[in-house]
Structure 1
Amino acid sequence: MFFQQARLIVLHAVPMLVAQLAAMGMMITDTVVLGHYGTEDLAAVAVGGGIYVAVLFALTGVLQAVSPTVSQIKGAGRDGEIAGALQQCFWLALCFAVPGVLILLHPDPLLSLSNIDAGVEMRARAYLAVLAWAIPAMLCYRTFYAFCNALGQTRPLVLISLGSTLLHAPLSWFLVNRGLGVTGAGIASALISWCTVICGFFYMRTGKALAPYRLLHDWQPPRPASMYELVRLGLPMGMSNFVEISSFTLTSLFVAQLGATAVAGHRVVANLAAICYMPPLALAIATLTQVGFAAGARDWPRARISAVAGLVLACAVACLLGGALWLGENAIVSAYSNDPAVRSVALSLIIYIVGYQIFDAVQTIAAFALRGYKIAFVPMLVHLLCFWGVGLFGGWWLAFRGLAPIAPMGVEGFWLASLLGLALASLLFGALLWHRIRRDL
């Protein structure tokens, strides 16, 4: 059964990885285009993009409650309840869009956390002001995205992601080089966001695979009880997402105090780290689906085997990624920037993401497997301890205060603390998953 579950996870994860890498192509495009356009614009997209991603992932984290909910409904054979669960999550998406837009239009509390260069801050504000209008579209699309993952329907996600990236690349290049800089990149991203959500609703209306669920028929009004259940499960998931992503966002804000070169080099490595996160994330999403199906059917041995298969696959992929980064670091960094100072900073940081690949893979799979069991609150506490406590606070201390006899380490302090935080997270999440599995032995 192990190989059968591993095969199911891989078959689900591969198209998900293609979709995620295609979506990542937009961030890569912006980083590369702005890296050759100007260091301040690259630094601005590091700061502004970090804030945007943190806000978006915090809100979509709550909406991801639709994934374990739908997978367990499907596993239990209650297909008639699926449309209602999705529709309630769309109502939540529209509710959450309001604070999301307001935060991006008024980012002063977040920007005040660090003394950012005036030119970088001005550009980051302009970038966020444009991206604010992408929030409603992105929240609705991410709801559709999580729903399709819950059913293993990955084809529309691949097609939409590939099409979006192919459209975004020339549009972003054109707008940036027409003198709009980082604002042009924001306009391109906002336009593409609305295209994706339109495609998602079109597929829900016309796609044959989703037709039996009648997703857009008999539309339900907001139902407080159903929405409460989604929020109760989703809030810890959203908080976990926010903690994980915001630790990198706040790191960018703190690193900005070290100058545009430091934050630009940090952006390059953070971008590489995000790319390396995609394969374990794809495997984690597929693992959640398989664990959710099994849990819904009360097939606990299959749930256990699915979780173990996900861990084994992710660890193997992590080893390959770490080796590739180590061997190709010079060529990879050179592709991102033609500034020797930025390349020097980036090269000094790559060793840390090489080192934490295995820990990141374990904590990601274990956390998502726990979500498949609808366990989210204690994992949220682990994320708080490891990402904010060890990673962020520890990184700030190492970067600006040092730890005797170690002098202040600058930007490297944040990456060392991140490595230590991920190592601790992998141990704690592994223990939590093992405890849950043993309950059903």
Structure 2
Amino acid sequence: MAQETNISKEHLQYLLDALTGNTISRGELEELTGYLHSLKNENLLDASLEQVWANISNGTDHEEINSNLLYENIISDSRFRKSDHQPQKVSVLWTSRILRYAASLILLSSLGIWFFLNKDKQKTTEPEEIVTSLKQDTIAPNQHAVLLTLADGSRIVLGKDSDGTLALQGDSRIEQEEGQIAYKDIGLGILGVKPLINTVTTPKGSDFKIVLPDGTKVWLNTLSTISYPVVFDGKERKVKIIGEAYFEVARNPYQPFIVEANGTEVRVLGTHFNVSAYSEENTVKTTLIEGAVKVTNKGQAALLKPGEQSIASLSKSNIEVNNIDVEEALAWKNGYFLFNNENIKTVMKSIARWYDITVEYEGNVGQKTFGGTIERFATIEQLLKSMEMTGAIHFKILPSEPGKERRVVVMP
């Protein structure tokens, strides 16, 4: 049985104020959580919670907050009682009144209600969503970094070497480990709130892996974006992408997984597939690795078998289906370019997305083709030199200019 953590009244008041003020650090949050789970004597907590509740509700209309409903939403959900700390039963440790305070405070801090308790703000904006950011590394949009955009619009830089908790979003804790992010259910049992959408965006020269709340794994290619809810609680699991992504969908026959990409919809129950939907291509390509998918475009539909690729036009309603080399479609995910005698301009589009370059053309190169396999993590100089060895094409790298991308000239 866990022993109660010793804590002073002043320090407990500080931790609770930091929680509801959204200034609490990760270490302080763990300290407060540990104290609550080890609690035996509730008198100190009761007094502190009453004071915090009085502070945050001062000057507000209590009718705007249904604390009884908040309380019932939490205690009616069995997940609220789950914990790594293995606390004793809540009904024994906490009185109904104390739990009501605690439940309200937890929801207030998670929902960000303290942001919109002011009536004037409520009249002009929608209720704040469940957002508690624990990391404030933000950058300007024109800088090159993988970004996680939270439901409230705040941004977090996703460094591939970073580990730890990034943010709290409703019932989920966002964690990063070994170059990927994942969503962990923290079991607050928050019900009846507006769906929260998170977005991950990759710049040129970066890809990123995400584990969605349902366990689906997503590899996001360079210059791509995926938007998804932090909880899949409806009849379907729907995400939206721009660019390219490879999916390994967690199987759930009762909740189909749907990818929206430039007006095309890909529907599956659980399978592995790749979707390429770069807007400049004017097509959406879906490549099936295993399982089955249904592709719909402007009222037309196609069922794919493994090894097939559908090409849906953005301007027409037709869907073309072809057999394809799966290895070619997944080359980017595995860290290399694979070109099968493709037009040089198509080849250079892929290269320009990955490397921070602008491509220019000199002479008659429109009919030139290139085939081969090249590592994506080579320098641009190494990559272009390898391509030149075929003798079919030549390149010139122009000196960089301040504020501009590097330029590569393609020549016969």
Normalising by structure 2, we get a TM-score of 0.22
Larger Rg computed on CA atoms: 2
Q: Relative to total residues, which structure has the larger strand share, 1 or 2?
A: 2
